Amino acid sequence: MCKRFFLILLSGVFLISSCDTSIEVEEEDLATCEISSFSLPASSNSFLDKDIVFEKDSTSNELIAYYLKWIEAPIPQVRFIPSFTFDGMSLLLNGKEIVSGQDEVDFSSDLSIIVKSKSKTKEHKIRLICPQINTEIPIIRIMTKVDSITREEYTSAKAVLYNPETGQYEWNTEKDNVRIKGRGNSTWLLPKKPYRIKFPEKISPFGLNHTKAKDWVILAHDMDKSLLRNHLAFTVASNLFNENDYQGKPYKVFSPSSIFVNVYFNDIYYGVYQLTDQIEKGDGRVDVESLGTKQGDEPSIIKGGHLLEMVYKVDDYSINFTTNSGIRIDHKYPKDDDHTAAQYQYIEQFVNEAEGVLYSDSFTDKDEGWRKYFDEQSLIDFIIVKEFVGDMDGYIGTRLFKKRDYDKLCFGPVWDMDKAWGNDIRVPFPDYPPSSSLMIFGGFRTPGNSTYDWFMRFWEDKELRKSVNERWKAKRDELIDLVINEIDTKKDSMSKSILANYKIWPYDEQLCFDASIPQNNYDAELEHIKQITYNRARLLDALLSEGL
């Protein structure tokens, strides 16, 4: 029997009729569940000075936007009203539908937004890169024009220290002005500059509770495109020097603290900086006894409370002495404006006497050799830090300190290692390529005596080499894991801040001629440091056991 069919569209349902049966078929869901546009219009968000328009990142399929100007609005209550269009039935945030142009949204963290149609859903990641409200790392805002800051004189300014994660201000504009000036040598010549900040009272910013101090430093790391090399080196040093109260020694070798912050000058974002200690005498820093004019020149007093630094920039060499072998040393403490002549005379004589023994024929003697004047344990760990991170600046800025009741020079703290992990194209000594040599030989050597400096002489002592090798073997795997884990942690925990930093300081611009050209992208640069870490460890396995 002939069958007849009728096709009727009723309210989105196809009805197929025949004389025998009827079948219902759902209309096809043609929605793509895509977000067509997403923005934060200034007309709906009065504290914005322009529309924030999100664009799709072709590599991650995220919608991302940047707003790097300071927002004059109550913090941390900043919420935005987004406008958007999409292909679907509804747009959901945390399971709740939001309406374009009406609902306020918290953009401090990444958003996961679902577009829903009749039978489909699609997830979209929304990222607003706005360091002021992102909850990754703290904020320092200095209320002055950056061009007004010099390296010679302090500039007075209002300041804000704010932690978006906790919503707490640690310093605000109602408090007294801070003072700020530039710092550094070659780094001061780069576009993104480092600074020293002096507070009117002692503080412990952002959980750096090892000390309260007036002076703090923010390092720019314009020549280190990972932003991490100094931080990693400080972390390695802290692990070595702080172990078991440093094995019962009558001193503690200070390692600088390290926390990353986003910095603004007035309303302008200036990038990610490393907040760290000023290297100076003090509780929780270089813990030596007080020694100044009021202590006088009594012989038992002047024996301790000294902080010294080997200097290599002659134009920065004002308060100093030169050892008999030609090494230039600066008195960092006591200070030039608060000391007596006898205090300087004592430590200068001590250093020259120690150096004389170091270069003598009997320098390895256990009782009367170099160990009588130099602390061996701090020297061992100082060498391991420098060699493991591959610090091309080597030993040129070595710092030493002396306690009053311990008649030995101790090594530390470490500082200024943004040239580590292969971040220097120079080869100071062609016979010792840095990538395959100890930094004692391949790096820049002690200023004033670069042909045969203290560390080259120390290394001639086989017993010292044995001790360094033993310490390295005991700490090797722990130090490797520490570096690798810290790289991964920092990459994840401040990913938006890193994007913001390189929005204003282009990643592929290396304006320091001595520094290496970075890898093709930021992730590749971090993997490069990881590989150097493994390679350097294998190299030290061989070189530190050589000739034992």
- Can you give the pLDDT at residue 8? 37
Question: What whole-number distance in Å separates Cα of residue 140 and Cα of residue 308?
Answer: 31
**pLDDT score, position 537:** 98
- pLDDT reading at 6 higher than 80: no
Top-confidence range, 24-33, 178-187, 254-263: 254-263
Query: Has residue 20 got a pLDDT over 50?
Result: no
| DSSP one-letter code for 157 | E
User: Average of pLDDT values for 224-231?
Assistant: 98
Q: Is the pLDDT of residue 16 over 80?
A: no
Task: Say if CB 532 and CB 387 are below 8 A apart.
Answer: no
For 418, the token pair is: 């943004």
**How many other β-carbons are positioned within 10 Å of the β-carbon of residue 493?**
12
In this structure, what are the phi and psi dihedrals at residue 385, rounded to the nearest 5 degrees?
Answer: -60, -55
pLDDT tens readout for residues 395-440: 888 999 999 999 999 999 999 999 999 999 999 999 999 999 999 9
516 pLDDT higher than 70: yes
CB 234 within 8 A of CB 221: no
Among 221, 254, 276, residue whose Cα is nearest residue 417: 221
Residue 167 is predicted with a pLDDT of 85
* pLDDT tens profile 359-402: 999 999 999 999 999 999 999 999 999 999 999 988 888 999 99
Fold assignment, 35-129? Immunoglobulin-like (2.60.40)
Contacts of 539 (CB under 8 A, 6+ apart): 436
pLDDT of amino acid 446? 82
Q: Taken in order 236, 241, 245, 247, is the CA torsion positive or negative?
A: positive
Q: What is the pLDDT of residue 287?
A: 93
What pLDDT shows up at residue 17?
A: 42
Q: Strand 63-66 and strand 55-56: pairing?
A: antiparallel
Helix-, strand-, coil-residue percentages of the chain, each rounded to 5: 25, 25, 50
pLDDT, one tens digit per residue, over 437-486 is 999 999 988 877 778 899 999 999 999 999 999 999 999 999 999 999 99
pLDDT of residue 151: 94
pLDDT score, position 232: 98
Q: Which residue has the higher pLDDT, 204 or 7?
A: 204
Report the pLDDT averaged over residues 263-279: 97
Query: Tokens 């500082």 sit at which residue?
Result: 415
Q: What is the pLDDT of residue 22?
A: 41
Residue 162 has phi, psi (to 5 degrees) of -140, 140
User: From CA 163, how far away is CA 160, in angstroms rounded?
Assistant: 10
**What per-residue confidence (pLDDT) applies to 19?**
43
Greatest CA span in the chain, whole angstroms? 126
Distance CA 36, CA 55 (A): 10
Indicate the pairing of strand 320-322 with strand 328-333.
antiparallel
Q: Which residue has the higher pLDDT, 263 or 6?
A: 263
Cβ–Cβ < 8 Å for 348, 318:
no
Instruction: Give pLDDT, residue 166.
Output: 86
Q: What is the mean pLDDT of residues 167-174?
A: 92
Q: 531: which strand partners?
A: none
As a whole number, mean pLDDT of residues 70-76 equals 77
**Angstrom distance (rounded) from CA 159 to CA 143:** 6
- The percentage of residues in the chain with a pLDDT greater than 70, rounded to a whole number, is 93
Q: Domains of the chain: which residue ranges?
A: 1-30, 35-129, 135-220+253-286, 475-543
- The pLDDT value given to residue 300: 94
Residue 188 Cα distances to 141, 222, 319, 424, angstroms: 20, 10, 21, 17
CA distances 337 to 291, 332, 397, 481, Å, are 12, 11, 23, 45
Give pLDDT, residue 244: 60
Distance between CA atoms of residues 190 and 210, nearest Å: 31
Write out the two tokens for 100. Answer: 């374009």
Give the pLDDT of residue 457.
Answer: 97
Tokens of 268: 């302008």
Nearest in space to 174 (alpha carbons), one of 160, 162, 186, 163: 160
- Contact 240/483 with Cβ under 8 angstroms? no
Average confidence (pLDDT) over 168-176 = 93
